[in-house]
Homo-oligomer: A and B are copies of this chain.
Amino acid sequence: MSLKMIEKEGFEFVQGGICAAKGFRANGLNCGLNPDREKYDLALFASDEICDAAAVYTTNLVKGAPILVTQEHLKQTGHKLRAVIANSKNANTCNADGVEKAEKMCALAAAELGIVPQQVGVASTGVIGENLKMEPIESHIHELAGGLTSDGGGRAEYAIMTTDTVSKEVAVSFELGGKTCHIGGMAKGSGMIHPNMATTLNFITTDAAIGHEALQKALSELVQITYNCLSVDGDTSTNDMILVMANGLAGNREVTSEETGFDVTKAEPKSDYEKFYTALWLVLVNLTRMLAADGEGAGKFVSCRVEGAKAREDAITLAKSVISSSLVKCAMFGEDANCGRVICALGYAGVSIDISGVDIDLTSEAGVMPAYRGGYAVAFDEEFAKKVLEQDEIEIVVRLKEGKAQGCAWGCDLTYDYVRINGDYRS
């Protein structure tokens, strides 16, 4: 399925993923962790200059060893990073020697790059609780570092993918004080994905100059309306991480944080911070939607927009409840306009709303189908409903009579393939 991009005037989508920003080079290869030698499993990317960094991690109490090591490194360097090494096929989580091996991965990369290990972040994704083999990484680190190029973003992305069926890269260019800046990112999905954390592995690079504090503020705020509005299967992973690195090579005056309070989905950005914030949002929100559309086994991209809520948080909670419902997901898979399941999911979301004020529409490129008005089902034409639901992208629109806030959440349908993929994930 080809997903529509969320766009904004003054911000141009460009190629290159994490290498779109000046001074970033990347590589990926198969080192042998994955027995399928066609599939890459080890990624490295590095900046020519030291970067200010910001990160958001999983809220799961069980945290992968790479998360612990990256957190510690950022603390030791005062949030400065030069490079990231990442592998797929093995999460290096719940292993007694996990931290030691994650540190070793950083040390191997640092030795090749001639930097200190603390300036390297590390990430792993794959099976939890299996011993990570170090030999394949040790024997390929030289080749990996030697192949770093400014067009290698796609290779790094291919190396971090697990059950993802398509690569997920977004980059935008924009201007700050007459200087052209870039933000680019890559992400991997595609199961064990649920709101309330930084979902999955996501690496974002920028050549804009922006300090750690402003970067962290922008990231933490934007995660609430992007990654945390995503659910594939309700499982919060142990290894989720979003890491942003800014090397300043665009030459702009350093962006500092502001209390903007502006609505990134609607308002025009004015200050440098608002512009950077908007560009980062465009990368995050489009990566989030790509993750939803490529959720494990997904056949359809399903989003829910809730309007007329008391607060944005309420709207997002309600929208998440709808797109997380197994029954709504199955109905979307079956192209069945069973909106009783939508109003049911609104009812158990834990947000106090007046059900007698609920309107629901099913929408897609084929049109808008009114399903509920004032809390009651309305008669509809089954043939038209089928046409609306046959499309690859479905938006469920919910209107409340509580206030003026709105929010979106993104997910996918529940299919035979999700069950197949996850019935036998370790092999």
Contacts and interface: CB of A to CB of B under 8 A. Distances in A.
Interface of A: 59-63, 91, 93-96, 127-130, 191-192, 194, 196, 233-238, 324-327, 330-331, 333-334, 336, 338-341, 343-348, 352-353, 355, 371-372, 375-377, 414-416, 418-427
B62 A347 contact: yes
Query: Chain A binding site: helix, strand, loop or mixed by DSSP?
Result: loop
A59 B338 CA distance: 21
Contacts of A192: 327, 341, 344
Nearest to A192: B327
B95 A330 contact: no
Given A128-B344, A344-B192, A330 B423 contact: yes
Given A60-B344, A62-B344, A331 B91 contact: no
A181 B425 CA distance: 51
A128 B61 contact: no
Contacts of A127: 338, 340
B327 A94 contact: no
A233 B340 contact: no
Nearest to A334: B423
B94 A375 contact: yes
Given A235-B325, A334-B422, A419-B330, A128 B340 contact: yes
B331 A423 contact: yes
Given A338-B425, A375-B94, A422-B327, A62 B235 contact: no
22 contacts: A59-B348, A61-B353, A62-B343, A62-B344, A127-B338, A128-B340, A128-B343, A129-B372, A129-B376, A191-B327, A194-B348, A234-B234, A235-B345, A236-B347, A238-B347, A326-B422, A330-B418, A330-B419, A330-B423, A331-B425, A336-B426, A416-B419
A379 B192 CA distance: 23
A327 B235 contact: yes
The 10 closest A-B pairs by CB, nearest first: A128-B340, A334-B423, A129-B377, A330-B422, A62-B347, A236-B348, A61-B347, A60-B347, A129-B340, A233-B326
A329 to B, nearest CB: 8
Given A61-B353, A327-B192, A425 B336 contact: yes
